[in-house]
Structure 1
């Protein structure tokens, strides 16, 4: 008679093979000061810029505007990048981020003194279009920040660049920008810059001018910007701008063709817990 307490033998099942976990991408941030920025670094950054910065728009008839063939990508060379963002004798920094060994983003900044305080001006910020909306721009600027920085600035046609700088360095929410500092000091801060295109920029917007009408609706609705005479296509920035304005998150106004937004603000120093070279490493 069979023992009812004894279970019938069952063939042992082979173990179910586990699927390998997907490999997490490896992000590496690196920082460099002026003397350590090599031509190879600049050439690699220029290639990323040329493939991801933007395309030329259609400028008005004028011999003085900066523009290429409408619809063509805005190109950059390593030598031009050095002249614009790392001029001789200037205190400049470069932070890059690679993902699995491939450069996907970078930021350049220049520093100078203004009324006894240190200015940090972001001269270029680029992230590969396939790696956007991952906080890479904000994290690049966080790495770029020095504990002694007290004044920050950027000129950009893209709202995302201004917001990234706010998240990385400001003591306030972006939609609540205190504009008094920019109104009173932006012109003098920029005039003291060693970066030519910053020093020569023409301030535009209601924040800096009492004029109420120019005949250009977008120009009249610009709050803080510069006439950079740089006619890059604005389709992508304007789409982002529309989204922000619908939610009352954008205080800098409209973006006329050939212009860039200007974002200048002061912020408190951070406690110096590590050296500047380590902060950029």
Structure 2
């Protein structure tokens, strides 16, 4: 089986707790058969026996926490790894972190990988899925597994440093006692030994340590010392890295991991956009709907598929005009809110589907398909964008038409040339430039993702990198490096033609100016619009 095909997914704890399927049983089975064995000093368990964890204990001790999330790794549908992470703000007045923005601790309370897949990057990718390029104050875990320590260092791009851990020991202990007591049973009297010689905690978890020395040899890079010290039975390493430590350069493997995780990061970022917060482009809905109806020659009763519908702002307006509308989006929260809005408006000719446009399988065909505001280009792997376009073609009636918009690369590169020429780069030769991106709340606040101060644009691939910061809503602040693909008119035309569509015309447009044909580098020309028909043999 190809390890490159591992699928990673993030699930909120309440989803896992309320799951009517077998998710918790799967996690319990993986833990009970692959976490480890009891040591000779383990009371009442039997030396060498597997350490077991029931689904009920997993639920009550680890997942019944409002700050918890479950992250899974699957290969061909089989669960081969999972992690549970708790992310919370530190508010103790005595030990308060001065910078409130960075006063967030991210603590992985469980990390389990199938024995057949250890030391193959699964743990690192799980942790990278959790932490990415976040700007938290600290990241960490308690473990007797050297591979987990190495995964922590790779995912956060920082080395564990006992002196830095010692300086924050009391904060970490307070959090463990107050917020993680159910997981570890840690009390204020729990012994923690942090010094130049190492960093460890007496959790009285008697997992077998007989293979630890050999694992350290395999986990530590050549020439690097093991700084966390020796480990007695019943103890675990108290391992943390901190935001203000010097960052390590991204390795080739980490760069590949970032790219593999880009789809998940994009979904996470879009789910945190406050689309009803007053973005300027959201005020043009009525005018855009009129344009769609006119160009697609839509009359009451005709059918429209809105691919990547978001909160359904176009779909709902089209339904009000008597059209039969289907909206699909892969962000469940958006779909639920769109359904509620349709119910509030008493609209019976619109339905919303929680699904991915890349995987849409339906026998239904439509008079028109709209795919607007950069759904195409949300994926940096062009094959993923091809899948969406192919599904648009397949779900059009023989005489159906499609309107598609993508982001304009020519304007993107011109804005950078004029204002921040240093922001034009090659990711292949300078991948670590993304670590220096200034964070900004553009997606959440304004939606203006054409400000060159806050992006890097790859001159070869036309991929744009942004460090997006999210602070709104009930979720904790978060930073994500979001990547998207931008196009020239020729590129998007060729892509459409290669996926079963025939482009009738293409032009440069801007929000509220769909009737105009703008110049490629005109400041308002942020989108390229293509109008397509279905290829007769497609």
- Distance in 1 between the 2:143 and 2:125 partners? 18
Structure 1: unaligned runs, 5 residues or longer: 1-21, 60-64, 209-221
| 1:229 partner SS | strand
Among candidates 176, 195, 208, match of residue 180 of structure 2: 195
Bigger Rg, which one:
2
- Aligned residue runs from structure 1 range 1-281, under 5 A: 26-38=5-17, 39=19, 40-59=22-41, 68-88=45-65, 90-114=66-90, 115=97, 116=100, 117-145=103-131, 147-170=134-157, 172=158, 174=159, 177-193=160-176, 194-196=179-181, 197=184, 199-200=186-187, 202-207=190-195, 223-243=198-218, 244=220, 247-267=223-243, 271=439, 272-273=467-468
- Distance in 2 between the 1:112 and 1:126 partners? 22
- Residues 118 and 82 (structure 1), Cα distance of their counterparts in 2 relative to 1, 3 Å cut: same
- Residues 254 and 226 (structure 1), Cα distance of their counterparts in 2 relative to 1, 3 Å cut: same
Shift of 1:195: 1.0
From the two aligned structures, give the one with the greater helix fraction.
2
Shift of 1:185: 1.2
- Distance in 1 between the 2:479 and 2:166 partners? 34
How many residues end up aligned between the 2 structures?
A: 235
Q: What corresponds to 2:429 in structure 1? A: none
- Residues 246 and 144 (structure 1), Cα distance of their counterparts in 2 relative to 1, 3 Å cut: closer
- Residues 188 and 100 (structure 1), Cα distance of their counterparts in 2 relative to 1, 3 Å cut: same
- Distance in 1 between the 2:3 and 2:221 partners? 36
Shift of 1:245: 9.7
Q: Normalising by the residue count of structure 1, what TM-score does the alignment of the two structures yield?
A: 0.74
Shift of 1:121: 0.3
After superposing the two structures, state which structure 1 stretch, 251-260 or 232-241, moved more: 232-241
Shift of 1:72: 0.7
What is the alpha-carbon root mean square deviation over aligned residues? Answer: 3.0
Q: What corresponds to 2:504 in structure 1? A: none
Structure 2: unaligned runs, 5 residues or longer: 91-96, 245-434, 440-466, 481-538
Shift of 1:239: 1.6
| 1:263 partner SS | strand
Q: Normalising by the residue count of structure 2, what TM-score does the alignment of the two structures yield?
A: 0.40
